[in-house]
């Protein structure tokens, strides 16, 4: 199994090398046939740093400085995005795997400043009364002003990181506040999750859960469940608060319990019989990477439980290899997953975030965990 995983890593590094030549300082995003160069996201959308994160991982694996040189070309684009571009809750996705990672790799002060500037911009979205980070939309817009989403649990590491970099507690306090609100309101009693939850933006009063990317309001979007498994585990790693680890563990149990026999989830765990049954390999990759970290966190006080979660993560990852296009030089992407609605129905797309989390999971499986979303060890 580990030999198979290492072979996949080697193939992905080769693909990264080819893609660097093809992309220049542009951002792969998604494409139905896996040809990202036909559909670049000019400003990085919400996914830009999953590509730069893959390049950073390639440097960590190989030690080849050309990957660092390549990352430098993106710096002006990330600076300009903060100055004039669209910003929302996904600043954590965009800057954790670029600014924070580049600072860790180079100790260059410009990357530290960029990371903190991005955290400042993200902090502007924090609603003190409701203790949540507003999801979509510009701050001057009233539309969806009181909405949070489960995805944002994976944006919180940028705020925790900013507190570590500056010594200012305000970033961490906002991240913890949002994690607490998400734990209280996005989770159902069985540890399944709503995708979104609405608050009254002025009073902070909770209004109710919804689901925009899942099948229905009371269904369970599998990628959202994966974001929660990983995201609550990250909040545990940054804060040491046991309730966050326990939440991650309960969500992981739900995820595993609802997997089909081939270990790769459908895009929603509560589909009716006549619904389109498409796989979301990216949900699997995100959950697997989170499971490895959760297993590590449980190893000291629950060794048998930790071993079981690690075994499940390895089994899921082995199943995911069967969906990989890492071996195919004609395809720049790696995993095709179920993405958003196209003409009223779900569709499969290659996505750069699925590719990133797959590589991250493979590296963890082979003993290389650089804690990209928590404190580097």
Catalytic residue among 88, 117, 151, 198: 151
- 90 part of the active site: yes
Q: How far is C-alpha 274 from the chain's CA centre? A: 30
User: CB count, 10 Å around CB of 1?
Assistant: 12
Is residue 250 domain-resident?
Answer: yes
For residue 152, which phi and psi values (nearest 5 degrees)? -65, -15
Encoding tokens for residue 328?
Answer: 């195919």
SS3 content of the chain, % helix, strand, coil (to 5): 55, 10, 35
Is residue 374 domain-resident?
Answer: no
Question: What are the pLDDT digits (tens) for 214-255?
Answer: 889 999 999 999 999 999 999 999 999 999 999 999 999 999
Name which of 49, 52, 47, 55 is nearest 30 in CA terms.
Answer: 47
Name which of 104, 49, 155, 158 is nearest 370 in CA terms.
Answer: 104
- 151 part of the active site: yes
Average pLDDT over residues 329-335: 96
The residue assigned the tokens 């924090």 is: 126
Question: What are the pLDDT digits (tens) for 140-167?
Answer: 888 899 999 999 999 999 999 999 999 9
Percent of the chain with pLDDT over 90: 91
pLDDT band at 341 (very low <50, low <70, confident <90, very high): low
Is residue 377 domain-resident?
Answer: no
Binding residues for substrate: 90, 151, 209, 223, 227
As a whole number, the mean pLDDT across the chain is 96
Binding residues: 90, 151, 209, 223, 227
**Domain limits at 125?**
2-365
The CATH number that applies at residue 287 is 1.50.10.10
Question: What are the pLDDT digits (tens) for 191-219?
Answer: 999 999 999 999 999 999 998 888 899 99
Is residue 370 domain-resident?
Answer: no
Question: What are the pLDDT digits (tens) for 36-80?
Answer: 999 999 999 999 999 999 999 999 999 999 999 999 999 999 999
Catalytic residue among 90, 213, 280, 293: 90
Total number of domains constituting the chain: 1
Q: Are 225 and 287 in contact (CB under 8 A)?
A: yes
């Amino acid at each position: 199994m580990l030999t198979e995983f290492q072979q996949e890593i080697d193939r992905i590094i080769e693909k990264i090398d080819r893609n660097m030549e093809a992309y220049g300082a542009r951002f792969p995003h998604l494409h139905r046939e896996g040809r990202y160069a036909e559909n670049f996201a000019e400003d990085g959308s919400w996914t830009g740093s999953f590509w730069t994160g893959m390049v950073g991982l390639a440097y960590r694996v190989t030690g080849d400085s050309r990957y660092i040189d390549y990352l430098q070309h993106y710096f002006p684009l990330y600076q300009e995005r903060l100055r004039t571009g669209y910003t929302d809750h996904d600043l954590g996705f965009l800057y954790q795997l670029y600014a924070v990672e580049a600072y860790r790799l180079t100790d260059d002060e410009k990357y530290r400043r960029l990371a903190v500037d991005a955290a400042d911009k993200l902090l502007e979205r924090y609603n003190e009364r409701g203790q949540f980070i507003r999801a979509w939309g510009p701050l001057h817009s009233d539309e969806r002003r009181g909405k949070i989403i489960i995805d944002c649990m994976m944006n919180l590491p940028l705020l925790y990181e900013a507190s570590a970099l500056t010594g200012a507690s305000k970033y961490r306090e906002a991240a913890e506040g949002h994690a607490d609100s998400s734990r209280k309101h996005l989770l159902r009693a069985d540890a399944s999750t709503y995708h979104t939850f609405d608050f009254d933006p002025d009073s902070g009063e909770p209004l109710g859960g919804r689901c925009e990317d899942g099948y229905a309001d009371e269904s369970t979007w599998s990628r959202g469940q994966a974001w929660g498994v990983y995201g609550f585990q990250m909040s545990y790693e940054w804060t040491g608060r046991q309730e966050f680890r326990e939440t991650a563990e309960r969500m992981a149990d739900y995820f595993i319990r609802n997997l089909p026999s081939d270990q790769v989830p459908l895009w929603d765990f509560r589909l009716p019989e006549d619904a389109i049954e498409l796989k979301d390999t990216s949900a699997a990759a995100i959950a697997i990477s989170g499971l490895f970290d959760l297993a590590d966190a449980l190893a000291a006080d629950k060794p048998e439980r930790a071993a079981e979660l690690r075994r499940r993560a390895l089994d899921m990852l082995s199943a995911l290899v069967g969906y990989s296009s890492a071996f195919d030089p004609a395809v720049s992407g790696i995993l095709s997953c179920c993405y958003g609605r196209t003409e009223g129905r779900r569709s499969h797309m290659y996505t750069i975030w699925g590719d990133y989390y797959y590589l991250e999971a493979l590296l963890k499986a082979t003993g290389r965990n650089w804690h990209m979303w928590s404190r580097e060890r």
